[in-house]
Every structure is written in structure tokens, then in C-alpha cells.
Amino acid sequence: MVDSEVTSTRSRERTRQRLLDAAAQVFAEVGLDAASVEAICDRAGFTRGAFYSNFETKDELFLELSGLVATERVAAVRSRVGELEQEGGFDLTPTDAFAIIEQVLDLSADDRLGVLLMSEIRIHALRNPDLAAAYLEQEAEMQRGVAQIVADIGRAKGIRFRVTADEAARIMLLVWEGAAVRAAMGGVDAEELRRRTSTELALVAQLTIAD
């Protein structure tokens, strides 16, 4: 009986995850309003019955997906910060240290699909107070992670900044996301998207490093 319940639970979790993965692609491609339950089910390979046994509405699915995306972005930054600390990456970073921050940011959205999905989430966060609160908290977590990297790099390399670590992190996130959106609008591939965001972050480095 226990084994049967465990198998059933895992099957349900796999179904739910496949629906979420399919929804991420459909929402990014056509937007929340144009995405139908049928399209999501077709992409996942399930029937409408499978959808409604996991989610009451499309909005409920979108809210859960938004939360997962936010959690993954924050987890990626935290994981990368931990890796750098363990590996002594801050000590080995060259003076033009902002390249390492680009690597951290690229972990969370490094292709057109990711940029489209995050843009869709931001649009609906403007209209939904609950989603807006969750999005702003996720953004704040990202900023704290990047600020930690900026501060650690500054200490390790003796670099002085014209602004605080928090201010530098906020500026870099704004510039990075803006560059990613513009690159996605231009229809470039993932490699070119990263190149363009790297170029923009290099400009930020020139403006914020005092030495």
C-alpha cells in the first residue's frame, strides 16, 4: 500500500512538472492571455483532465510557475556565490572583475525563452499585487547576492567603487535585464545575447570602479 501511494505521488509530481515546463514554453511564446489550457496540455502530452486534476485555473498555474522561476533564479545566484567562496574565485578574479558577475546572472536567464518568460511575469506583476510582491522580493534577493559578490571582489582585489555594493548591484541588474530584453527583441541567439549583456556590464564597470 505504501509503495503504491509513493508511486502515485511521484507520478502526480511528474505530471505537474511536465505541465509547468510546457506552460513556461507556451507562456513565453504567446503570452498568458493567448495561451490556452489546450495548448499547454498538447505541449505536455496530456488531456484537459490531467490539467484540472493539478490546477484549478490557468492563473493558478502561472502563479506557481512564477514562484518556481523566482526560486530558481535566487538559488542559482546563491549556489554560484557559494562555489566562488569555496574555490577562492574572488581571489583569482582579474581587476576587470565584473565578468564574474555576468556569469552569475547568466545562470538565471541565458536564452530568449528565459527572457520572454521573465518579461511576461513582469507584465502581469504590474497588474497583480500578490505577484508583484513576490517578484520584488525575488529581485531583492538577486540584488543581495550580486551585492555580496561586488563587495567580496572589492575586498579581494582592493578595488574602490564610486557607489555602494548595493547600488552597483541594482544598476547592474537593471542594465543586464534591459540588454537581455533588447537582444531578445532583435532575435539573436543565446551566445549573442550573452555577448551583448557582457558588453553592457563592461560599461557599468567603467562607470562604477573608481580606480
Q: Are residues 31 and 71 in the same domain?
A: no
Q: 108 with 201, same domain?
A: yes
Domain count, the chain: 2
What is the band of 86 on the pLDDT scale with cuts at 50, 70, 90? confident
Structure confidence at residue 3 (pLDDT): 59
Same domain, 69 and 46: no
Residue 42, domain extent:
1-55
With contact defined as beta carbons under 8 Å apart, do 62 and 124 qualify?
A: yes
φ, ψ at 56 (rounded to 5°): -75, -40
141 with 45, same domain? no
Asked if 101 and 172 count as a contact pair (C-beta separation under 8 A), the reply is yes
Q: What is the pLDDT of residue 6?
A: 57
Q: What do you get for the CA distance between the two ends of the chain, in Å? A: 68
pLDDT band at 52 (very low <50, low <70, confident <90, very high): very high
Any idea what the CATH number is for the domain that residue 189 is in? Answer: 1.10.357
Taking the C-alpha atoms of residue 29 and residue 66, their distance in angstroms, rounded to an integer, is 15
Residue type, 36: S
Domain with residue 7: its CATH number is: 1.10.10.60
Read off φ and ψ for residue 29, nearest 5 degrees: -75, -45
Q: Is the pLDDT of residue 103 over 80?
A: no
Distance between CA atoms of 77 and 144, rounded to whole angstroms? 10
Map residue 115 onto helix, strand or coil: helix
Q: Which pLDDT score is estimated for 45?
A: 95
167 has a pLDDT exceeding 60 = yes
Residue 77's contacts (CB-CB under 8 Å, 6 or more residues apart) are 104, 105, 107, 108, 141, 142, 145, 146
Helix ranges restricted to H, 31-164: 37-44, 48-52, 58-87, 89-92, 98-106, 112-125, 129-157
Residue with the bigger pLDDT between 136 and 79: it is 136
pLDDT, mean over the chain? 81
105 with 186, same domain? yes
pLDDT tier for residue 93 given thresholds of 50, 70 and 90: low
Q: Residue 46: pLDDT band by 50, 70, 90 thresholds?
A: very high
Is 37 in the same domain as 87?
no
pLDDT at 180 over 80: yes
Q: How many CB atoms lie within 10 A of CB 172?
A: 25
Assess whether 46 and 71 both reside in one domain: no
Residues 6-13, mean pLDDT to the nearest whole number: 76
pTM of the model: 0.70
